[in-house]
């Protein structure tokens, strides 16, 4: 498992890109989480305009194995959801760090306990 070094990670297995100049970051689930879930068949994502809170549930992913809550790694306002993932949830499995991203959020608060790629790799085992 190779976790991109430029991302930060939550202990709930979400990843977060560095914010752009407008304070907007991209959120997805890690390859580890996607593998644990199995084949994702349904994605319920937060919608543009929704407010998400770090550590709180903001959606869910359903796989052939189970249903898993989606947690936001940061607090902010959702500016976009990935419609491609809603239409083709398997993208979460095939490209968790690329086309399988879940939503974009304008960050208003970021917890201090997000992990680096190496820290996340150690955490996830």
Q: What is the pLDDT of residue 2?
A: 82
pLDDT averaged over every residue in the chain: 96
Structure confidence by residue, pLDDT tens digits, 18-41 = 999 999 999 999 999 999 999 999
Q: How many alpha carbons lie under 13 Å from residue 41 in its C-beta half-sphere? A: 8
Nearest alpha-carbon partner for 37 in 102, 81, 82, 103: 102
Token look-up 């907007």 returns 24
Residues 6+ apart with CB under 8 A from 109: 54, 74, 75, 76
- The residues that bridge with 42 in the sheet, in sequence order, are 62
Q: Is the pLDDT of residue 1 over 80?
A: no
What average pLDDT score do residues 2-10 get? 94
Structure confidence by residue, pLDDT tens digits, 39-97 = 999 999 999 999 999 999 999 999 998 999 999 999 999 999 999 999 999 999 999 99
pTM of the complete model: 0.95
Contact 12, 1 (CB under 8 A): no
């Amino acid at each position: 498992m190779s976790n991109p070094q430029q991302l930060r990670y939550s202990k709930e297995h979400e990843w977060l890109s560095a914010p752009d100049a407008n304070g907007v970051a991209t959120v997805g689930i890690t390859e580890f989480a996607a593998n644990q879930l199995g084949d994702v068949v349904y994605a319920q994502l937060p919608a543009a305009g929704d407010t998400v809170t770090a550590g709180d549930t903001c959606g869910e992913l359903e796989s052939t194995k189970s249903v898993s809550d989606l947690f936001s790694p940061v607090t902010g306002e959702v500016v976009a959801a990935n419609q491609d993932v809603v239409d083709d949830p398997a993208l979460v499995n095939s490209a968790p760090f690329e086309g399988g991203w879940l939503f974009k959020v304008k960050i208003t608060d970021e917890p201090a306990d997000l992990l680096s790629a190496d820290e996340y790799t150690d955490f996830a085992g």
